[in-house]
Amino acid sequence: MKGYGCIRSIVLAVSLALASGLVQADTIRVLNWQGYGTDEDWSLEKFEKATGNTVEHEYFNSEQEMLTKLRTNPGTYDVVLINSAYTRQAAEEGLIQPLDLADYPHSDGLQPRLAHNPNLEYDGKLYGVAWLWGVTSFAINTGAFDEKPNSIMELWNPEHAGRLGWRDDAVESCQFAALATGQDINDPSDYDVIRERLHALKPQIRTFWNSENEWNQYMSSGEFDLATYWSGSAARSKQNFGLPIEFVVPREGAIAWLDGLSLPTDVPHPEAAKQFIDWMIDPEFYVQWDTEVGAPISANEQAVAQLPDGAFNKQLIAQLKEVENLPFMGPMSDETREKMLEVWQETKTFYQE
């Protein structure tokens, strides 16, 4: 596998340097979602052996919590995972610093459209190393379908009344309705139409879900015919739990997202942090992670190319190439978020009537 010889060379060089006292081993602190790649024990052990550096983690449960931690704990974190819809805000607030891809050798494999995605840039500078991407759409219980649907309107199909799982999230809900009504997912123009489309889901919804674990439990117990879901989670549900599901990318499009790894402005250990980010975008790490655990799509084309034939993400990419409308989640104004929250809260009240 490409990169193996390189890793062996790094291990030998660093081991000799540590033995001679030429390299200062650091402990870096990573801010991320729990269980999202950077905290895989087997990888951290390899990283420590290769570089001498150890890794600790602190977790957040929402993007707003992540931003708050960066604001209130300067000089604490070395690497932070940021959804690209929030990268510009973090840069504007001075919470993260500009990056040079030349500092990350494995960045040469990044897809150009992801490496230089506008959402990762601010004021002409790059603030995040593209790491993972995927789509939010829906998955079906194959036992409930004779053939795989190809339209987002399947969510409103009365044949599945009372059998739809829906994530309780205001932005995501409004974005699904925007896709279904041909609107901009990041700035819908007609919220009355959004509200009407969401209200029409009332007879469809079985229950709301909030976590991957909840989703798996509902699907495994046969309560869902179909449910909104994330592509990376669908890979794990199918691979690790053997759930009879298929992920659907409808012809109307899906909600694309991109996660990047950034350096906080007051990063305590910049060189070790850069080494860790480069480790995360290394194809060798990604292939093992995706094969053994299940992961979103790597932004590194070389990593995806090394996946086994028939791998979930290879099949997903083939689906995505056939879809013209694949808008990425982007920055939103506070007014837009507040409006989406208002619409969703009113909709949930309507569901209870």
- Helix, strand, coil share (%) of the chain residues, nearest 5: 45, 20, 35
pLDDT tens track for 301-340 = 999 999 998 899 998 998 888 887 899 999 999 999 999 9
Residue with tokens 């193996």: 4
Q: Are strands 226-230 and 79-83 parallel, antiparallel or unpaired?
A: unpaired
Determine contact, residues 30/268, Cβ cutoff 8 Å: no
Cβ neighbours, 10 Å, residue 48:
15
Alpha-carbon dihedral 216, 221, 224, 230, rounded to 10 degrees: 10
The residue-averaged pLDDT of 44-66 equals 96
The mean pLDDT of the chain is 93
For the stretch 182-208, pLDDT in tens is: 999 999 999 999 999 999 999 999 999
Same fold, 4-127+257-317 and 134-254+323-352: yes
CA 279 to chain centre: 18
> Residues with Cβ < 8 Å from 44, sequence gap 6 or more?
54, 55
Q: Calculate mean pLDDT across residues 248-255.
A: 95
Q: What is the spatial distance between Cα 168 and Cα 183, in angstroms, rounded to a whole number?
A: 21
4-127+257-317 folds as D-Maltodextrin-Binding Protein; domain 2 (3.40.190)
pLDDT band at 108 (very low <50, low <70, confident <90, very high): very high
What are the domain boundaries of the chain?
Answer: 4-127+257-317, 134-254+323-352
Entry pTM? 0.85
The amino acid at 20: S
User: What's the pLDDT at 80?
Assistant: 99
Pairing of strands 129-141, 164-167: unpaired
pLDDT category of residue 231 using cuts at 50, 70 and 90:
very high
Answer yes or no: CATH 3.90.1150.10 is held by domain 134-254+323-352.
no
Tell me what pLDDT residue 5 has: 47
Work out the average pLDDT over 39-64. Answer: 96
Using the 8-state DSSP alphabet, how is residue 256 labeled?
E
